[in-house]
Copies of this chain bind each other. A is one copy, B any other.
Amino acid sequence: MYSIKRLLIGRPLKSTALGEQKLNKTKALAILSSDALSSVAYGPEQILIVLVAVGVTAFWYSVPIAIGVLVLLTALILSYRQIIYAYPHGGGAYVVSKENLGVWPGLISGGSLLVDYVLTVAVSVSAGTDAITSAFPSLHEHTVLIAIAFVLFTTVLNLRGVTESASILAYPVYLFVLALFILIGVGIYDIATGAVPPDLHASIGTPVAGISLFLLLKAFASGSSALTGVEAISNAILNFKSPAPANASRTLLMMGALLAVLFSGIVFLAYYYGISPRTEVTVVSQIAEQTFGRHFMYFFIQGTTALILILAANTGYSAFPLLAVNLANDKFIPRIFTVRGDRLGYSNGIITLGFLSIVLIVAFQGNTEHLIPLYAVGVFIPFTMSQTGMMVKWIRQKPKGWIFKLVVNSIGALISFTVTIMFFITKFEQVWSVIVFLPTIIYVFHRIKKHYEAVGKQLRLTTCEPAMPIEGNVFILPVAGITHVVETSINYAQSLSAQQIIAVYIPFEREDETAFEEKWNKFHPDVRLVTLHSPYRTIIQPLMKFIDTVERKANESNYQVTVIIPQFIPKKGWHNILHNQTSLMIRARLLYRKNVIVTTVPYHLKK
């Protein structure tokens, strides 16, 4: 076990090595923007899927819709830039909402994002697997297995540590950007030189029968799912080399620029080539095939697309554990999420994320595209919350130049809110579950916090009654025979100058009773023996009843009751099945039901 762990995640790191685990801008851009950048692989397609319901002539609407998405992108990038400088210790939407709007809005943001990162992993890994099976249809039936393998791989990579995963993951991200630049460049060159027939698409402005504002809003909302992931940098500022805020801000701007270019390029090519969305071949794959044929470049684009989609999952792995730490520090989720693993990453968060996304992938059999709207809503709710939080902050604090900052965040909040509402109106059947799970999660958060607070109060020395003074000790020793183990236990109890030692023997047959008593009196006449005949052949019940009686009496005179339980430790694991596990059962019952102390005396068998 131990050596497998070492092989997978490497040797443990000292806490002092934490500083070496920070990211420079190039690596940070790669691992924190892979989610946002990868969205261009499915964002444009989402727009076309909505428009195809009216007919192919409606496809030209994708161009104005894309312009709308770019406006939204600009607003979000500027808003998040302000959040980065205002909250240089990270935490993103959760911290911003909590500090400016209150605990409940904070939990709404935190809860949405937590679920959202699980969706990020599931959706992007599934999409990456789809890109692979588009190229190799024979793999289509193994989708779920391939997706699970990728999740496991990413989980292990992240357990190894953030810099190590960044080093490995940077190449594919930049290769993807390069591949799409070549695709868009060659595509536009072809169009400019007239190599592409201009009659593949309806020209912009062609009247379309049956188009409605509702449909266009739905297409816009679908297209803005390409913006998921832009918040990741604001959550992970702590992972940057110093000066962290400046580096993070520059990385954010760079990401925005790349995203804008790639998104508009793909939308434009898809429109110009008149591409229709198809079930088993993605839009990017169709564009690449039309541009290059089944040429090396086609496979290069498919390969890097698959890779970036899978790596988009990595953004979830960077952001989820840090968000979980924030929530756990505030006692809304189990404390275990604040513990750094062997490689200094928050390994419990990483493992939880991997596990939950595998559950999702299996539950949806790899068809997670149904989850994209849910995923988008889960991003736009915290988008709205955090921008609103920033508005409140500027109005309250009124720093220098606050009017401009307020305007930027207000535009961001307004558009995000509009998109959220659009999702609820146009895709209610896909996003209604948010209304169920979000209150549920927040309720659970609340219960957990309440429990931790209650425990804290009970443990604090100042708030609880002083510990009971112990006037004396009673030791109870269940015995099954007169053996070496019993001798050792009595020896121990006597060395502790216990005021009373009571051996308890529980025979199933009346005849055993007197026979054992006689033997005992020869063996240890100084130790009192109590025999409890058990007509129903159970040891636990009479023993518990007896302990109850002793405990009641002991309590009257402030005596403490201790039960001594010998435990055989066989030399080999399989030997355990040869011994009744009565001592385990007794110990569990005693600890959970009674207020007695349980002392386990191990007896290591040598053979």
Contact = CB atoms under 8 A, between A and B. Distances in A.
Interface in A1-21: 12-16
A606 interface: yes
Given A460-B484, A598-B600, A600-B591, A578 B448 contact: yes
Contacts of A398: none
B491 A467 contact: yes
A560 B335 contact: no
Interface string A517-553: 0000001000000000001111000000000000000
A451 B599 contact: no
Given A473-B495, A491-B469, A607-B454, A580 B335 contact: yes
A97 to B, nearest CB: 24
B601 A597 contact: yes
Contacts of A562: 599
Nearest to A459: B483
A499 to B, nearest CB: 10
Contacts of A602: 591-592, 594-598
A496 interface: yes
Contacts of A472: 495
A281 interface: no
A461 B607 CA distance: 17
Contact of A569 (B339, B466, B587, B592): B592
A492 B558 CA distance: 12
Contacts of A473: 495-496
A468 interface: yes
A461 to B, nearest CB: 6
Nearest to A336: B580
Contacts of A294: none
A12 B536 contact: yes
A254 interface: no
Contact of A535 (B16, B452, B536, B599): B16
A598 B599 CA distance: 6
Nearest to A498: B496
Given A483-B461, A535-B14, A560 B495 contact: yes
A340 interface: yes
Nearest to A466: B487
B495 A467 contact: no
A485 B494 CA distance: 26
Contacts of A575: 451
A458 interface: yes
Nearest to A444: B574
A604 interface: yes
Nearest to A494: B470
Nearest to A587: B600
Nearest to A333: B578
A190 B192 CA distance: 98
A406 to B, nearest CB: 40
A193 interface: no
Interface string A435-451: 00000000000001001
A158 B309 CA distance: 58
A602 B595 CA distance: 7
Interface string A143-159: 00000000000000000
A336 to B, nearest CB: 6
A577 B334 contact: yes
A483 to B, nearest CB: 4
Contacts of A491: 467-470
Contacts of A599: 562, 597-600
Contacts of A335: 578-580
A605 B591 CA distance: 12
A342 interface: yes
A141 interface: no
A455 B605 contact: yes
Contact of A604 (B468, B560, B580, B595): B595
Nearest to A339: B537
B483 A460 contact: yes
A461 B448 contact: no
A482 B471 CA distance: 23
A555 interface: no
A290 interface: no
A26 interface: no
B578 A452 contact: yes
Contacts of A448: 578
Contacts of A451: 570, 575, 578, 607
The 5 tightest CB contacts between A and B, nearest first, are A470-B495, A454-B607, A459-B483, A14-B535, A599-B599
7 contacts: A15-B508, A16-B535, A458-B606, A470-B495, A472-B495, A496-B497, A595-B604
Given A458-B606, A567-B591, A594-B602, 10 more contacts: A13-B536, A334-B577, A340-B537, A342-B537, A458-B607, A459-B483, A461-B482, A461-B523, A467-B488, A470-B494
